[in-house]
């Protein structure tokens, strides 16, 4: 879903909630104007409480990496723009899947799988794609992620899928060649 469309949907939901008298629920799930990680606690973990379960995603992965990327001071201006766009995309992708009713239900494993399935599209979104970043930003991004999260099955598949997209779309100034090499290496292991 395009970011502008997602924001419009969120605004409609928020307006509907105000009319229905449930403004507190939807307001908790609205994105901040500036990049923020608050929605992971105030909304996602509240309406999909999975603490202590091995499939928990919002605090142990989403919030963890949101904070880590916002704290990363080594990204360029282009890298920061990618980060901000990606954070919004990841957060807005979750909202339509979340049950924010008075008595929410949530399958923690399904929610984790769904949230992870949004990563590649958000990382490679046209206009703010990791494929277009300078190698220094790609290196800084890789250093921000824990190695165990990169090499587990889901992380490996994500890297493989990102590299496959970038090998075809990255600028042809050496970055495309680097992504092609990475794609070949990542295809050697089946997660």
Domain boundaries, the chain: 3-10+28-187
User: Within 10 Å of residue 29's Cβ, how many Cβ atoms?
Assistant: 22
Q: What is the pLDDT of residue 188?
A: 87
> What is residue 1's predicted lDDT score, i.e. its pLDDT?
41
User: What letter does residue 47 receive in the DSSP assignment?
Assistant: H
> What pLDDT is attached to residue 23?
39
Residue of higher predicted confidence among 66 and 188: 66
Q: Give which of 98, 81, 84, 120 is closest to 30, Cα–Cα.
A: 98
Average the pLDDT over 184-189 and give the result. Answer: 88
Where does the pLDDT of residue 31 fall: very low under 50, low under 70, confident under 90, or very high at 90 and above?
A: low
pLDDT at 12 > cutoff 50: no
The string of pLDDT tens digits covering residues 103-131 is: 889 999 999 999 999 999 999 999 999 99
Q: What is the pLDDT of residue 153?
A: 82
Concatenating the DSSP letter of every residue in 79-133 gives HHHHHHHHHHHHHHHHGGGS--SSS----HHHHHHHHHHTHHHHHEETTEEGGGS
Residues whose CB is less than 8 angstroms from the CB of residue 88 and which lie 6 or more positions away in sequence, other chains included: 3, 31, 35
pLDDT band of residue 25 (cuts 50, 70, 90) is very low
Confidence of residue 16 (pLDDT cuts 50, 70, 90): very low
The residue ranking higher by pLDDT, 152 or 82, is: 82
Which of 129, 137, 139 is CA-nearest to residue 171? Answer: 129
Per-residue pLDDT band at 191 (split at 50, 70, 90): low
Angle between helices 135-144 and 77-94 (to 10 degrees): 50
Average pLDDT rounded to a whole number, residues 51-57: 91
Q: What is the mean pLDDT of the chain?
A: 85
């Amino acid at each position: 879903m395009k970011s502008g469309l997602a924001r419009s949907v969120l605004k409609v939901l928020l307006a509907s909630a105000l009319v229905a008298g449930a403004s507190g629920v939807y307001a908790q799930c609205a994105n901040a104007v500036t990049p923020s990680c608050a929605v992971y606690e105030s909304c996602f973990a509240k309406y999909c409480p999975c603490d202590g379960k091995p499939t928990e995603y919002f605090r142990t992965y989403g919030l963890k990496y949101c904070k880590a990327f916002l704290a990363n001071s080594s990204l360029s201006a282009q890298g920061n723009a990618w980060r901000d766009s990606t954070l919004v995309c990841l957060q807005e992708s979750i909202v339509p899947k979340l049950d924010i009713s008075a008595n929410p239900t949530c399958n923690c494993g399904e929610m984790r799988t769904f949230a992870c399935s949004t990563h590649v599209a958000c990382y490679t979104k046209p206009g703010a794609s990791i494929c277009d970043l300078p190698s220094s930003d790609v290196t800084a991004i890789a250093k921000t992620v824990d190695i165990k999260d990169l090499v587990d099955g889901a992380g490996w598949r994500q890297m493989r899928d990102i590299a496959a997209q970038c090998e075809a779309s990255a600028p042809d100034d050496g970055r495309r060649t680097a992504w092609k090499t990475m794609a070949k290496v990542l295809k050697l292991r089946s997660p």
